[in-house]
Amino acid sequence: MKQFFLILTFLVLSLECVAQEKEFNEAIAHGRSPKQFYCVYNPKKKSLIEAEFENYALKHNYIIGHSRSFTKDRFGEKVRALSEFAFMPKDEYPKFAWEHVNSSYPYSSLKEGTCLIYTNSRFNNFKVLWTGSVENGKLNGKGTVFFFNDRKDSFFYSNGEFRQGTPYGSFVLYASKGTENMDFVKITEFQVGDFSDGMASFRISGNYGFITSDGNIAIQPTYERVIKNFSNGRAEVFADGKERIIGKNGNFIDYTDHQKALDQAAADKKRREELAKQAREDSIKAEQRRQEMLAQQKAEAEKRAAAEKEAEFQRKIDNNKNTKLWTRGCRLCYRFPNSQNFVIATLEEWNEDRSKVKVKIVASPGYGWQLNGDVLEKNNTLWVSARNEGWHLALDEEVSMAIKNDGSVKRETPPTPTVVVPEDHNCRKCNGRGTVVCFSCNGTGNRGRIYDYETCRWCNGKGSYRCYDCNGTGRR
């Protein structure tokens, strides 16, 4: 029984192999449409097992295309059966690829020849078919060149011109992508120029190199631009930002005259910039030295002016010594230069060299009851220096001139006779002087703003008037 089943299985498999061969042969005999694979159809759902058909296709060197399958019971087991299956014999695959490249020339009209493609050395192992003429086994003229390898699974093509197997002009090389759809994509672009002195320039991937007349690459494409082709064994190229002269082996010979002129101009420009920079630096240093000298001269001038001012002030003090101006009760005005702040006071005492005086504040309408921050003593009196940190000293009769930033006034004031009476009989209003400070002008003799200098009409500019309590006698 077991042997019977083995024999039955062998017979079934044999019949299926015959059916597979029959389906493939019928599809080939039926033919295919352009740009299409051969196709096996199974509308009646016959037992065309998918895995067995794929193995048969690979065994017989067929290229498998698309397939459609469905589930089927076989000897109680679920298997995938085919409802449609596409394939292509590899020997016909180049013709199928050519249909996607050019339909104006039939595949049978293509001529076989040799040519040079400078993009990849492996193209030397490809079979070359050509739509143009072939002379001495080499492609010549214009046309479409078609390449495929021995396995017939890689295809390339390009349109252009060949001269005895050497490409000339611009080329764009396309490669196949996929199988049944056969899409071609651009993989590289190159260009070959005219021959001169046995050499021609060619460009690929944006760089330039040179080939010989027999089609061999003499200089690899490493230059950015070719300025002049070879003549007398020399060519001019542009690389690394310089115009260079090279030999036929690519060795550097010299820079071009134009490049030398550019380098010289750049060097001259750099030199001029360096000189201009040095001149600017020298000018800055000279200006700094001039400013330092001016500052030194200004400091010396200020020092001399300060010394002269100090000497002048000392002369004023010396001139005021032992004069009749230093009298007790004399009115004084202290005012800071270029300021509206002033203080009216009376002279009470002074030291031997007249460097310090004791004054009594009478009025301070512009600054308050202090003089340069000095602390007042009893009865608004304080000791101050005659100089007093820049304040000017003037007598009461010339208060207006002192306010106008005058120096020290040297006019003699006739002493006012005073009646000496016992202290307890002095008038409280005038303290025995017989006069009191004018209430209208605060003893300045002027009214209104400081710079108006309007004569006070109450005291008639004297700054004081007769005491009404004692009728000018100073006694109660």
Q: Which runs of consecutive H residues, i.e. helices, occur in 379-469?
A: 399-403
pLDDT in tens, 230-251: 999 999 999 999 999 999 999 9
What pLDDT, on a 0 to 100 scale, did the predictor assign at position 205? 81
pLDDT in tens, 427-468: 877 877 778 878 677 777 776 544 445 677 777 777 777 787
If you average pLDDT over residues 283-299, what whole number do you get?
94
- Alpha-carbon distance of 307 to 301, in angstroms, equals 10
Predicted structure pTM score = 0.50
Whole-angstrom CA distances from 10 to 4, 5, 326, 407 are: 10, 9, 156, 144
pLDDT of 410 higher than 90: no
User: Helices 2-30 and 50-59, interaxial angle, to 10°?
Assistant: 60
At residue 179 the predicted structure's pLDDT band, cuts being 50, 70 and 90, is confident
What pLDDT, on a 0 to 100 scale, did the predictor assign at position 145? 92
Strands of 234-239's sheet in order across:
225-231, 234-239, 242-246, 252-255
Contacts of 99-104 with CB under 8 Å at 24 or more apart are 99/34, 99/35, 99/182, 100/35, 100/176, 100/182, 100/184, 101/144, 101/146, 101/155, 101/157, 101/184, 102/131, 102/144, 102/157, 103/34
How many residues can be counted in the chain?
476
Q: What is the DSSP string of 50-85?
A: HHHHHHHHHHTTEEEEEEEEEEEEETTEEEEEEEEE
Tell which wins on pLDDT, 380 or 92.
92
Tell which wins on pLDDT, 385 or 202.
202
pLDDT in tens, 248-265: 999 999 999 999 999 999
Largest CA distance in the chain: 175
What pLDDT, on a 0 to 100 scale, did the predictor assign at position 318? 63
Please state the φ and ψ torsions of residue 57, each to the nearest 5 degrees.
-65, -45
What pLDDT, on a 0 to 100 scale, did the predictor assign at position 276? 95
- Alpha-carbon distance of 175 to 237, in angstroms, equals 32
At residue 396 the predicted structure's pLDDT band, cuts being 50, 70 and 90, is very low
Winning range, highest mean pLDDT, from 121-130, 162-171, 343-352:
162-171
pLDDT in tens, 59-108: 999 988 888 888 877 777 788 888 888 999 999 999 999 999 887 899 99
Tell which wins on pLDDT, 31 or 330.
31
If you average pLDDT over residues 185-214, what whole number do you get?
87
- Alpha-carbon distance of 70 to 86, in angstroms, equals 16
What pLDDT, on a 0 to 100 scale, did the predictor assign at position 422? 53
What pLDDT, on a 0 to 100 scale, did the predictor assign at position 324? 46
pLDDT of 379 higher than 70: yes
- % of the chain beyond a pLDDT of 90: 27
- Alpha-carbon distance of 139 to 162, in angstroms, equals 6
Whole-angstrom CA distances from 203 to 134, 138, 217, 355, 428 are: 25, 22, 12, 102, 122
Please state the φ and ψ torsions of residue 89, each to the nearest 5 degrees.
-65, 135
CB of 454 closer than 8 Å to CB of 441: no
H helix or E strand, kind and range, residue 360: strand 356-363
Q: Which of 45, 43, 40 minimizes the C-alpha distance to 20?
A: 40
Q: Which residues pair with 194 in a beta bridge?
A: none
Candidate from 173-182, 193-202, 276-285, 411-420 with smallest mean pLDDT: 411-420
Helix (H, G, I), strand (E, B) or coil at 14: helix
If you average pLDDT over residues 125-138, what whole number do you get?
89
- Alpha-carbon distance of 240 to 263, in angstroms, equals 14
CB of 355 closer than 8 Å to CB of 385: yes
pLDDT of 268 higher than 90: yes
CB of 238 closer than 8 Å to CB of 254: no
- Alpha-carbon distance of 218 to 225, in angstroms, equals 16
CB of 353 closer than 8 Å to CB of 326: no
CB of 466 closer than 8 Å to CB of 434: yes
Tell which wins on pLDDT, 171 or 344.
171
What pLDDT, on a 0 to 100 scale, did the predictor assign at position 290? 95
Tell me the one-letter amino acid at 14: S
pLDDT of 21 higher than 90: no
Q: Which of 191, 228, 197, 227 minimizes the C-alpha distance to 212?
A: 197
Across 207-299, the runs of DSSP E, i.e. the strands, are: 207-212, 217-223, 225-231, 234-239, 242-246, 252-255
Look over the chain and give the mean of its residue pLDDT values, rounded to a whole number: 78
In the numeric block, which tokens belong to residue 207? Answer: 């760089």
What pLDDT, on a 0 to 100 scale, did the predictor assign at position 126? 83
Candidate from 97-106, 160-169, 369-378 with smallest mean pLDDT: 369-378
Tally DSSP H helices, then E strands, for the chain.
Answer: 5, 26
Using only C-alpha atoms, the chain has a radius of gyration, in whole angstroms, of 62
Of the CA atoms within 13 Å of residue 414, those in its CB half-sphere come to: 1
What pLDDT, on a 0 to 100 scale, did the predictor assign at position 354? 66
What pLDDT, on a 0 to 100 scale, did the predictor assign at position 122? 58
Residues 222-231: b if buried by 16+ CB within 10 A, e if exposed: ebeebeebbe
Helix (H, G, I), strand (E, B) or coil at 180: coil
Q: What is the DSSP string of 29-56?
A: HH---TT--EEEE-TT----BHHHHHHH
Tell me the one-letter amino acid at 352: E
pLDDT of 402 higher than 60: no
Candidate from 95-109, 132-146, 390-404, 441-455 with smallest mean pLDDT: 390-404
